[in-house]
Amino acid sequence: MTINMNFFRKILLSATVFGIMASGTAGASGNKIIIDGSTTVGPVAKAFASYYTKATGVQVTVSESGSGNGAKSLINKTCDIATMSRAMKEKEEAAARSKGVNPVEHIVALDGLSIVVHPSNRINALSKAQIRGIYMGKYTNWNQLGGANSAIVVIQRESNSGTADSFKELVMGKENPISKRAETQSSNGAIKSRVASTPAAISYIGLGFVDSSVKAVLVDGVEADVRTVKNGTYPITRPLFMYTNGNPTGAVKQFIDLPKTPEGKHIISETGFVNYY
């Protein structure tokens, strides 16, 4: 990847002269950025961090404790940037304001929430209604959907997950609870490993995590790829976010603006997600 050094020399000059980060957040010296939150946004944030540190010398640390914990970190002023795979909730915004924090939303990329099964599963496509039925417990055996005679192993994310919230909003709806039979995994990576080792499993992961160890099925006849996510025809499409306390300045602003640069767009594509800008 070619680094635009003139662009980053301007960043270094700005950081040196003004010594500023996002107002009221964790990094106070101007030479460190602290990021916490989503495991889905994690690969993008980590790739940005590696690139940005090499280009500028500013140290960037990235933790992946889940979108909900990212919001808490921003509210408690223990991070400069909260990564989230869902929008901040009203109650989180209210908690932030009560502590003098002004959450500002920045869209980083787009994601297609992929429905994945074991590669040996002969099911290649499901409707949203069928996926909802599986997670509600209406369908308990793959033979009810044209598959093998095998009990469906339903896997979901933990309650603190932004991906879980996105799945509930975009697939389940408010009135349709997930069956208590569903097992819980803590991250996209953990879900992928579980599905890859379990022939009867089904779950959901971010587009950037899909590889040959699992099979992503069509949803309502549409494949999740760059084109369908970008144009919104894939039915489980969502934005990915970074949040700052107020409008960012200095090094944090330059980091937040990476998705708008050619280098940042290349990184997003390389991590398997879809450019928003």
Q: What is the pLDDT of residues 92-112, one digit of tens each?
A: 999 999 999 999 999 999 999
Strand partners, 62: 35
Closest listed residue to residue 111, CA positions, set 259, 243, 262: 259
Measured CA to CA, the distance from residue 100 to residue 94 in angstroms comes to 10
Give pLDDT, residue 159. Answer: 86
Q: Does domain 5-109+240-275 have CATH number 3.40.190.10?
A: yes
Does domain 114-230 fall under CATH 3.40.50.920? My reply is no
Sheet holding 81-84, edge to edge: 59-63, 32-37, 81-84, 237-245, 103-112, 274-275
Per-domain boundaries in the chain: 5-109+240-275, 114-230
Beta-bridge mates of residue 239: 110
> Would you state the pLDDT for residue 2?
44
Alpha-helical runs (H) found in the chain: 5-18, 42-56, 67-75, 90-98, 128-136, 162-167, 188-196, 226-230, 250-256, 262-270
Q: Which pLDDT does position 4 carry in this prediction?
A: 52
Question: In the prediction, which pLDDT does 30 show?
Answer: 63
Do 5-109+240-275 and 114-230 show the same overall fold?
yes
Low-confidence ranges of the chain (pLDDT < 70): 1-30
CB burial of 211-246 (b: ≥16 within 10 Å; e: otherwise) equals eeebbbbebeebbbebebbeeeebbbbbbbbbbbbe
The predicted pLDDT at position 174 comes to 84
Distance, in Å, from the CA atom of 197 to the CA atom of 26, rounded to the nearest integer, reads 40
User: Quick one: CA torsion of 225, 129, 206, 182, rounded to 10 degrees?
Assistant: -150
Alpha-carbon distance of 103 to 175, in angstroms, equals 29
